[in-house]
Amino acid sequence: MPTPPERLDRAIAMTERLIAFDTTSRNSNLALIEDVKSYLGDLGIAARLTYDDDGGKANLWCTIGPEERGGIVLSGHTDVVPVDGQEWTTDPFSMVRKDGRLYGRGTCDMKAFVAIALSLAPEMAAAKLNVPIHFAFSYDEEVGCIGVQRIVDDVVANLPLPRAVIVGEPTEMKLIGGNKGTRIYRTRVTGVPGHSSDPRHGANAVTAAARMISFIEDLGDEIAAKPLQDSPFDPPYTTLTVGVIEGGTAHNIIPEFCDITWGMRVVPDDDADVYEQRIRDYCTTALEPKLKAVAPHTGFEHHKLVDSVGLRPDHESAAETLVRQLTGLNRSSVVSFGTEAGTFQRAGMPAVIFGPGSIDQAHKADEFIAIDQISQCVDFMVDLIEWAKTAE
């Protein structure tokens, strides 16, 4: 049985190993996944991979302990956000240990959690677990929680349903039971170009887009005027935002195109489809007739880029009960950032968010995680192993 300092050293060494793979979401994560797969293989743990459409990225799933029953999932994403344009004082893909912290891209978000789980895999494999522990390591979380859906689909179709999921996003080891969902859309408005001296022959895509944007703003105000009672979320309603607008080429040309990127942060029990439909209907009935009167090919095209479901707080869930029991923590709270937890919950797997590090350091230059946070998470997973040996 390793001592606590040995366990911590192993977790830090594994973090360093994972940080060295540049798994920025635009890149393949296969080198990392293959490395993890062979590490697990040496422990006699079989990994199950699910791939994206062109085979350039993969999720990894494995079960440690009895295969015939569902257990506790430790879930983390393997991709990281880009370092482009950020001023780092160290090499982001070479972990640096300094002042009680580990620096590197993905240290807190969220390779340390994945590394801690992996560093304890030998102990999990050696223990006679009664309830299995599963690892679920995904690709493309940072670009809209895309990869995890394939893990969930595979588990639901082929494996016993796990009883609880712990998503180890950085919560400073606090128990988080909910997060809002995220939807992102891009809308292209097509008009008819012309000389600005005679607008009658053109159809202005930018001004049509402006009316859609105003409608989104008004709808957001309408939703905000009816906040949900007793909601733990802040603000306690679904919000709408227009983030990017691009259109037009010169002051004397009627713009042919305008692209709008917009989105929603959705309170878990709210129906985002209703809002989407109202925006679509407004474009179709109030805005398109004027464009189409000039030329029938004009109009609005909406593309949904991201649809990441939120996590609905459930204080009685098996996931929350387990983490409370193992840690002595009180009831969960909620966070505003998106996670993969809701994707598990929607498929019937109770989930919480609980992991080391602070979201304050995520996505920034000189991202770091405090070693004390790693130590706390190691202790938690050791307790989880003990629990899984005897739990029914």
Selected range binding Zn ion among 57-65, 95-103, 163-171, 252-260, rule: CB under 5 A: 163-171
133: contact with Zn ion by CB under 5 A: no
Q: Which of 109, 314 has the CB closer to Zn ion?
A: 109
Which of these, 80, 58, 41, lies nearest to 365 by C-alpha position? 80
**What is the H or E stretch that residue 352 is in?**
strand 351-353
**What is the H or E stretch that residue 30 is in?**
helix 30-42
Among 16, 79, 109, 367, binds Zn ion (CB under 5 A): 109
Selected range binding Zn ion among 24-32, 79-87, 101-109, 214-222, rule: CB under 5 A: 101-109
Q: How many residues bind Zn ion (CB under 5 A)?
A: 3
In the complex, minimum distance from the CB of residue 210 to Zn ion, in angstroms, rounded to a whole number = 35
d(CA 227, CA 235): 8
d(CA 209, CA 207): 5
Which of these, 53, 24, 23, lies nearest to 35 by C-alpha position? 23
In the complex, minimum distance from the CB of residue 173 to Zn ion, in angstroms, rounded to a whole number = 15
Q: Cis ω on the peptide bond leading into residue 381 (within 30° of 0)?
A: no
Q: Which of residues 168-187 bind Zn ion (CB under 5 A)?
A: 169
79: contact with Zn ion by CB under 5 A: no
In the complex, minimum distance from the CB of residue 22 to Zn ion, in angstroms, rounded to a whole number = 16
Q: Which residues contact 69 (CB under 8 A, 6 or more apart)?
A: 131, 132, 160
On whether the CB atoms of residues 184 and 279 are closer than 8 A, the answer is no
On whether the CB atoms of residues 385 and 133 are closer than 8 A, the answer is yes
In the complex, minimum distance from the CB of residue 142 to Zn ion, in angstroms, rounded to a whole number = 7
d(CA 216, CA 218): 5
Q: Which of 111, 163 has the CB closer to Zn ion?
A: 111
Selected range binding Zn ion among 30-38, 165-173, 291-299, 345-353, rule: CB under 5 A: 165-173
Selected range binding Zn ion among 56-64, 162-170, 198-206, 376-384, rule: CB under 5 A: 162-170
Q: Which residues pair with 254 in a beta bridge?
A: 194
Query: Is 79 a known active-site residue?
Result: yes
110: contact with Zn ion by CB under 5 A: yes
d(CA 243, CA 103): 31
On whether the CB atoms of residues 32 and 78 are closer than 8 A, the answer is yes
| Catalytic residue from among 79, 142, 256, 320 | 79
| Catalytic residue from among 16, 22, 109, 141 | 141
In the complex, minimum distance from the CB of residue 303 to Zn ion, in angstroms, rounded to a whole number = 24
Q: Which of residues 194-253 bind Zn ion (CB under 5 A)?
A: none
In the complex, minimum distance from the CB of residue 179 to Zn ion, in angstroms, rounded to a whole number = 11
**What is the H or E stretch that residue 382 is in?**
helix 371-390
Which tokens is 333 given? 């709270």
Q: Which of 45, 335 has the CB closer to Zn ion?
A: 335
Active site members: 79, 141
Which residues contribute to the site for Zn ion (CB under 5 A)? 109-110, 169
